[in-house]
Amino acid sequence: MPFYKDHVYPHLVAILGNPKPVQTIRQQLVPLAHGRVLEIGVGPGVNFVHYDPEKVSKVYALEPNPGMMPRAERQGRRTQLDIEFLDLPGERIPLADASVDTVVSTFTLCTIPGVVEAIRGIGRVVKPGGQFLFFEHGLAPDARVQRWQKRTEPLFKWAFEGCHVTRDITSLIKAGGFKIEQMGAAYLAPFPKSGSYLYWGVARPKV
């Protein structure tokens, strides 16, 4: 559905993707980024205004959906950041090994098909001692909500470009070669619980 993907979905994300509780976490998490930054799945560029240009020397912005790019470029022009948009020619992130200090992912791990391989790819490009800042949908701790998540996941996958709301984010990040240093989790967004349990925090490559 190219029309939905390129035109309807970007508009939907712009409207629904940053309610107040989510924005609050972005404002706390994204400013932790420093040095050379890779953001995967930048979407409409909502995070750009939260980077500290005095701490961030460059942002590599990776977004596979061309419908998002005009919105992201407009957001980027509102900042003082040095932003370079990257194409994704395949599954491999087009950056050298150990080339970035920080990787940022917000509401992206839920949509990637081979998510553990993608996280390992993040581990490849981040420097030893670097950081991975994440903010993601995930599996709720309550059994009743989990049942609703499993029932409604096909709808989320259809409406939000393959979004899986039943992924155990902490286990996936650990399986991808990271240790979680700080983490919060809660029902945040003003949506049904099946789609609003979120994880956020800081992870670092395992030594």
Boundaries of every domain in the chain: 2-205
Q: What is the pLDDT of residues 158-187, one digit of tens each?
A: 666 668 889 999 999 999 999 999 999 999
Instruction: Taking residues 98-110, report their average pLDDT.
Output: 95
The CATH number fitting domain 2-205, selected from 3.40.630.30, 3.40.50.150, 3.40.30.10, 3.30.450.20: 3.40.50.150
Q: What is the pLDDT of residues 49-73, one digit of tens each?
A: 999 999 999 999 998 888 888 899 9
CB atoms within 10 A of CB 144: 10
Q: Is 162 left (phi over 0), alpha (psi -120 to 50) or beta?
A: left
Instruction: State pTM to two decimals.
Output: 0.89
3-state secondary structure 65-128: CHHHHHHHHHHHHCCCCCEEEECCCCCCCCCCCCCEEEEEEECCCCCCCCHHHHHHHHHHHEEE
Instruction: Taking residues 88-97, report their average pLDDT.
Output: 79
Q: Which two tokens stand for residue 176?
A: 């991808």
* Torsion on CA atoms 45, 37, 50, 56, rounded to nearest 10: -130
Q: Is 35 left (phi over 0), alpha (psi -120 to 50) or beta?
A: left
Q: In what helix (H) or strand (E) does residue 58 lie, and over which residues does it extend?
A: strand 56-62
Question: What is the pLDDT confidence band of residue 18, given thresholds at 50, 70 and 90?
Answer: low
For the chain, give the mean pLDDT.
Answer: 87
